[in-house]
């Protein structure tokens, strides 16, 4: 099967999750839950096959351009979701993950792969740097989603009249803890990604810092996360402020990602 | 059949009078079987219903009804007659299923009834009044009840004020283990909520009012400690959950108290603080609600959450009803397959058919017979058929009573060529 075929299958399986979310949100019944994780797992398997196929077809690590970027991002986000699910059995994270994974795969299916041919893409830094960066994005996405969940649940509890989300979202403590751990993981990846990015830039262009927007935004995100981690340290409870910082940090991450995806790789700056 | 009273038909005062203590149940079961002529019997006695479940020959339900009203007896007899219900056959079976699934409970989906029904069957089994029919009913209705609980949401989300408080605490803190609960005032309802919390692993501290004695008693009961009311601020600084239920006329916990507790330790203000005010008039200044990380629920708030949860359960009840109905249908089908009456009717019809045919043949050979001879022939053949069928009829009736495997009926049909 071609890489495109795999992606279409992946999209179909991730759609199960989206249907589940819609069903869940409208009826508050959990009929599909065990099937949904299984379907997502199946989608993830096809996705993995599709990515390896695409790697062969493209001749370089498939992370360049919008098509490959969103596809790989969806893959790492689902990976992060599954890893969190295995550790915590938390289904509610699917509320955010299923629609996002589906949306990203939809974009991947609608866009053509980048045919960029550049010697820089042959560099070993490409798979290393992007894998680290994408794993960071995914973990920070989980942190973002749980931070958002924290704020929503806090609002539900403050309102004193619970609605749908009160029942769907786990406890404040769970949101806070999972968000905090994901930030730690994501921050680790992000740091390594920035370091390898600088090294890559140096080996390709002889300069560590090019002053590109993506470099600035990556560093800005890094600083936000440092602030967040420091804020959490004293009490082990992030609370509202940590949730807000996690959301802000992720917004910067999204900007970084979009910038890189729309203006492929360091090739742009090197031109 | 089922005979009994429940919260739907009888007031609490009457149900209390009718209730049978656990120790008296075996003796009552024996009496019930002997005096009401029941082949099998089970007694279910909870605070919301007192019911007799039984099996016997036709008309036994009337006897059981008489027995029930007589035993309840005394001055309450007329009241019992007015509120007792009597169900037979499919309606009784349906009722048994619905009771076990807690669809007949005062609070739909409440978890206790399943255990109570289980125990009632257990007691009947030990007393030796449980036969195959009630045993089958026990297995199927309890299985259906468990399915209803696990596959629908009728048992989810608390509907009592004290449980709602615990559930909210879980929604805030997740695990309640090692969380500090501070009780201000030693009322009944605070105690109930605190008990649930302590059972989940929380530690309790009770603040005493003018007399520390009461607080010490409650603290001992909760496995916690007591402290003087003057230490409110210090205690609040380490508390995660505060339950206030004093009889004071004015505000007991002011905004300043909460503020000082929040600022007592660095970073403490970020951790959530769950304030439960179950006093009327209220103990806690309502404006603390606006403070970050502070969740204040008063009695009305808890009630409205309970009501919202109950509405959710009601919606789930429809699904549970459908599930239980399907299970009842299956059970009735299964019971029907055990019925030997059609088999007996057919057997008799077949015997009569053979007899008639053989008489016709004999007549053709014998020619004209005198009325006496005619009568003798009839009597002899009838006696043969009756005697032939007597054994199988008795045996089949016995089999039906003992509850035989349904395949047996099919086997017997084949053997007899029916």
Summarised one tens digit per residue, pLDDT across range B278-301 is 988 899 999 999 998 899 999 999
Do A123 and A90 sit in the same domain of this protein? no
Residue B262: band (very low, low, confident or very high) from pLDDT cuts 50, 70, 90: confident
Q: H helices of A160-212, where?
A: 164-168, 172-205
Look at residue B26 and tell me if it is in a domain.
yes
B344 and B262 part of one domain: no
Name the nearest CA neighbour of B197 among B166, B236, B162.
B166
Answer yes or no: do A154 and A31 share one domain: no
Backbone angles phi, psi at B2, to 5 degrees: -130, 130
Q: Whose structure tokens read 């409650």?
A: B218
Domain boundary among A65, A84, A115: A115
Q: Which residue has the tokens 């060529």?
A: B417
Cα–Cα dist A52/A50, whole Å: 6
Q: Choose one of B151, B185, B200: the last residue of a domain.
A: B151
A157 plus A214 within the same structural domain: yes
Picking from B174, B292, B297, the nearest residue to A240 by CB comes out as B292
Check whether residue A71 and residue A197 sit in a common domain: no
| Strands B49-55 vs B2-6: parallel, antiparallel or unpaired | antiparallel
Q: Are residues B128 and B267 in the same domain?
A: no
**Is B182 found in the same domain as B266?**
yes
The reply to whether A24 and A157 lie within a common domain is no
**Structure token pair of residue B385:** 């058929």
Which chain B residues are Cβ-neighbours of A238 within 8 angstroms?
Answer: 270
Q: What is the pLDDT of residues B333-359, one digit of tens each?
A: 877 766 777 778 888 888 899 999 988
pLDDT score recorded for residue B24: 86
- Chain B residue with minimal CA distance to A162? B305
**Is there a single domain that holds both residue A202 and residue A146?**
yes
The β-bridge partners of B110 are: none
**Residue of B12, B27, B34, B47 marked active site:** B47
Q: Considering its fold, how many domains does chain A have in total?
A: 2
- CB contacts < 8 Å between A and B, how many? 61
Chain B 148-167, residues with CB within 8 Å of chain A CB atoms: 153, 157
| Structure-block tokens of residue A240 | 């509202």
Say what angle helices B112-127 and B25-36 make with each other, to 10 degrees. Answer: 60
- Rounded alpha-carbon distances, angstroms, from residue B169 to B51, B122, B181, B200, B302: 38, 36, 10, 11, 12
Q: Are B126 and B43 in contact (CB under 8 A)?
A: no
Task: Annotate A226-249 with b (16+ C-beta within 10 A) or e (fewer).
Answer: eebbebbeeeebbbbebbbbbbbb
Q: Across the interface, do B270 and A153 touch by the CB < 8 Å criterion?
A: no
Distance CA B236, CA B251 (A): 16
Residue whose tokens read 């800005």: A220
Q: Is B47 a catalytic residue?
A: yes
Is the Cβ pair A157, B171 closer than 8 Å?
A: yes
Q: Cα–Cα distances in Å, from B136 out to A194, B38, B93, B178?
A: 69, 17, 11, 45
Query: To which residue do tokens 């149940």 refer?
Result: B25
Q: Which of A28, A162, A235 sits opposite B267 (nearest CB)?
A: A235
Are residues A127 and A98 part of one domain? no
Query: What is the reported pLDDT for B274?
Result: 95
| Residue A191 confidence class, pLDDT cut points 50, 70, 90 | very high
CB of A271 within 8 Å of any CB in chain B? Answer: no
| Angle formed at CA A65 by CA A61 and CA A71, multiple of 5 degrees | 70
For residue B308, the chain A residues in CB contact (below 8 A) are: 161-162
Given B113, B132, B151, the domain boundary residue is: B151
**pLDDT band at residue A270 under the 50/70/90 scheme:** very low
Q: Within this chain, do residues B6 and B143 fall inside the same structural domain, yes or no? A: yes
Whether residue B278 sits in one domain with residue B194 = yes
pLDDT at A266: 47
* Neighbour-count burial of A42, counting CB atoms closer than 10 A to its CB (0-12 exposed, 13-18 middle, 19+ buried): middle
For residues B245 and B282, give the distance between their C-alpha atoms in angstroms, rounded to a whole number. Answer: 8
The pLDDT assigned to A24 comes to 73
ipTM: 0.84
B6 and B147 together in one domain: yes
Tokens of A55: 């790697």
| Separation in Å, CA of A169 to nearest CA in chain B | 9
> How far is the C-alpha of B385 from the C-alpha of B396, rounded, in Å?
17
Asked if the structure places residue B321 within a domain, the reply is no
Nearest CA among B143, B227, B237 for reference residue B183: B227
Look up the domain containing B177 and give its range.
161-304
The boundaries of the domain holding residue A158 are 119-271
For residue A237, the chain B residue with the least C-alpha distance is B271
């Amino acid at each position: 099967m071609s890489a495109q075929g795999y992606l279409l299958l992946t999209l179909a399986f991730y759609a199960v999750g989206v249907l589940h979310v819609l069903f869940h949100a409208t009826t508050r019944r959990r009929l599909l839950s065990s099937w949904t994780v299984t379907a997502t797992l199946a989608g993830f398997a096809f996705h993995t096959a599709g990515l390896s196929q695409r790697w062969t077809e493209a001749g370089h690590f498939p992370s360049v351009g919008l098509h490959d970027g969103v596809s790989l991002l969806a893959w790492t986000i689902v990976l992060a979701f599954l890893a969190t699910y295995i550790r915590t059995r938390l289904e509610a994270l699917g509320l955010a993950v299923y629609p996002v994974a589906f949306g990203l795969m939809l974009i991947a299916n609608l866009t053509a792969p980048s045919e960029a041919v550049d010697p820089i893409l042959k560099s070993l830094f490409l798979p290393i740097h992007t894998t680290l960066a994408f794993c960071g994005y995914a973990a920070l996405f989980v942190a973002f989603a749980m931070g958002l969940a924290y704020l929503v649940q806090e609002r539900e509890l403050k309102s004193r009249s619970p609605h749908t989300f009160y029942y769907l979202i786990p406890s404040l403590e769970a949101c806070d803890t999972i968000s905090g751990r994901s930030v730690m993981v994501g921050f680790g990846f992000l740091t390594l990604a920035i370091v390898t990015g600088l090294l890559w830039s140096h080996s390709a262009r002889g300069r560590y810092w090019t002053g590109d927007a993506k470099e600035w935004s990556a560093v800005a995100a890094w600083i936000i996360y440092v602030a967040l981690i420091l804020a959490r340290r004293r009490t082990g409870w992030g609370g509202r402020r940590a949730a807000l910082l996690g959301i802000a940090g992720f917004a910067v991450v999204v900007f970084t990602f979009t910038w890189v995806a729309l203006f492929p790789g360091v090739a742009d700056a090197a031109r | 059949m089922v005979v009994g009273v429940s919260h739907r038909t009888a007031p609490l005062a009457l149900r209390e009078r009718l209730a049978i203590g656990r120790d008296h149940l075996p003796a009552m079961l024996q009496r019930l079987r002997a005096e009401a002529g029941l082949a099998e019997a089970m007694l279910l006695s909870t605070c919301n219903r007192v019911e007799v479940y039984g099996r016997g020959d036709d008309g036994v339900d009337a006897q059981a009804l008489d027995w029930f009203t007589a035993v309840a007896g005394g001055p309450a007899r007329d009241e019992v007659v007015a509120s007792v219900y009597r169900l037979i056959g499919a309606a009784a079976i349906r009722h048994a299923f619905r009771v076990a699934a807690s669809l007949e409970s005062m609070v739909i989906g409440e978890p206790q009834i399943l255990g109570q029904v289980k125990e009632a069957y257990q007691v009947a089994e030990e007393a030796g009044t449980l036969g195959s029919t009630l045993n089958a009913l026990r297995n199927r209705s309890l299985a259906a009840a468990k399915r209803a609980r696990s596959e629908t949401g009728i048992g989810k989300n608390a509907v009592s004020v004290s449980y709602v408080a615990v559930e909210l605490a879980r929604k805030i803190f997740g695990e309640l283990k090692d969380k500090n609960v501070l009780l201000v005032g030693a009322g009944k309802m605070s105690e109930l909520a605190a008990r649930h919390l302590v059972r989940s692993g929380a530690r309790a501290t009770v603040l005493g009012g003018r007399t520390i004695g009461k607080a010490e008693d409650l603290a001992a009961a909760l496995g916690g400690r007591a402290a003087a009311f003057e230490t409110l601020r210090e205690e609040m600084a380490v508390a995660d959950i505060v339950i206030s239920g004093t009889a004071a006329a004015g505000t007991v916990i002011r905004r300043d108290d909460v503020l000082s507790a929040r600022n007592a330790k660095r970073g403490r203000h970020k951790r959530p603080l769950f304030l439960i005010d179950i006093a009327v008039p209220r103990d806690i200044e309502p404006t603390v609600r606006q403070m970050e990380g502070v969740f204040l629920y008063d009695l009305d708030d808890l009630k409205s959450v309970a009501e919202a949860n109950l509405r959710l359960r009601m919606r789930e009840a429809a699904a549970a009803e459908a599930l239980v109905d399907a299970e009842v249908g299956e059970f009735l089908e299964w019971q029907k397959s055990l019925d030997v009456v059609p088999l007996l009717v057919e057997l008799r019809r077949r015997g009569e058919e053979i007899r008639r045919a053989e008489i016709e043949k004999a007549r053709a050979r014998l020619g004209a017979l005198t009325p006496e001879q005619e009568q003798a022939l009839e009597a002899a053949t009838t006696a043969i058929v009756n005697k032939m069928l007597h054994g199988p009829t008795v045996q089949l009736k016995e089999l039906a009573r003992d509850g035989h495997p349904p395949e047996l009926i099919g086997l017997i049909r084949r053997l007899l060529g029916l």
